[in-house]
Amino acid sequence: MSYILLLRPGQWTKNLFVLAGLVFAQRLTDVQSVISALLAFSCFCVLSSTVYVFNDIHDRNEDRLHPVKRNRPIAAGKIPVPSAMIYNLVLLVVGLGGAFLLDRAFFLVAVAYLLLQTAYTLLLKHVVILDVILIGLGFVLRAVAGVVVLAGAELSPWLLLCTFTLCLFLGFGKRRCELNILSDDNSSRAAVKHRKTLAEYTPDLLNHMTTLTAGIAIVSFVLYAVDERTLREFGTNYLLYTLPLVVYAIFRFALLVEHGRVSGPTDVLLRDRPFQAAMVLWGIAALIVVYQGRTIQSWLADFLQSAPGPASVPGV
């Protein structure tokens, strides 16, 4: 059981960004594309787990200072470091081997993801602000990987920007959660020892950053929804009308973080029912717009044309 927990399967929800290309490239009805996307998702689950295992090995001493992370298998001493290293090597071979067999371009993106995460773990996570930017870039690489594995598919730059800014918002929210947890532990020194950048982040600063990135993410989504390319591909700009659900989900996340009710983005995604409901409703609405937008647009146009005009007023 400890080896399964070491993989952090709950974190695999982050790899759903790999499937974004499948949805927005309108390939859900193409069997080969679905298979390719699911294989890409599986590869990223394995590769992200190699990153988590490597991180747990490298940060085991710092994790022991954290009230939640100290229960991780390596930090808790349930899995010896040599065994974890062998386990991780097997995962790395399986993940990269699968990526190489699936698609060469996908393999290169996967390698770039691993290099980015390695640099983050070893050095760059100690650089304030840059640490969260790299988290955002990791999600962008997931989205790019989900596109390159689909032959002939393209991803809108606006959608990439929306992914990046949304993940910046989640990343700064995660730092806010860490401050909440460690302050509840009544140990500011423990916070700094656990993550050096927490010495620079303050609740007010993180509140400003989450507010700013939330605003940029929402504007990016609006620009994507009304972009000419989006209109051309989906036949409508009705994606814009899902904005209230996007705004609610973002504000709900900010509310939970501010009140210290969650430990991070994954906790919100897996446990908070209102947030889950908003995401499910948005997903359904987005699928309808992406795959039936032209039909809905045409039906409404025909309906408006066939509707009787205003009654004429006698004598006018």
Is residue 279 situated within a structural domain? yes
Among 154, 186, 204, the domain-final residue is: 154
Is residue 305 situated within a structural domain? no
Tell me the per-residue pLDDT of 139-163, one tens digit each, with 9 for 90 and over: 999 999 999 998 778 877 888 899 9
Residues 109 and 141 sit within 8 Å (Cβ to Cβ)? yes
Is residue 203 situated within a structural domain? yes
pTM to 2 decimals?
0.85
Among 127, 154, 181, the domain-final residue is: 154
Q: Which long-range contacts (CB under 8 A, 24 or more apart) does 196-204 make?
A: 196/126, 197/125, 197/126, 197/127, 197/128, 197/131, 200/128, 201/128, 201/175, 203/176, 203/179
Among 122, 137, 154, the domain-final residue is: 154
**Shared-domain flag, residues 141 and 188:** no
21 token code pair: 């290309």
DSSP letter assigned to residue 127: S
Q: What is the pLDDT of residue 308?
A: 67
Range of the domain at 12: 1-154
Q: How wide is the angle at C-alpha 135 spanned by C-alphas 129 and 93, nearest 5°?
A: 140
**Shared-domain flag, residues 104 and 24:** yes
Tell me the per-residue pLDDT of 209-240, one tens digit each, with 9 for 90 and over: 999 999 999 999 999 999 988 888 888 889 99
Is residue 138 situated within a structural domain? yes
Q: Which of the pair, 279 or 261, is modelled with greater confidence?
A: 279
Q: Which residues contact 57 (CB under 8 A, 6 or more apart)?
A: 74, 81, 84, 85, 88
**Shared-domain flag, residues 135 and 184:** no
Q: What is the pLDDT of residue 316?
A: 42
Task: Report how far residue 170's alpha carbon sits from residue 176's, in angstroms, rounded to the nearest whole number.
Answer: 10
The string over 163-179, giving b where at least 16 C-beta atoms fall within 10 Å of a residue's C-beta and e elsewhere, is bbbbbbbbbbbbbbbbb
Q: What is the pLDDT of residue 83?
A: 93
Is residue 247 situated within a structural domain? yes
Domain tally for the chain?
A: 2
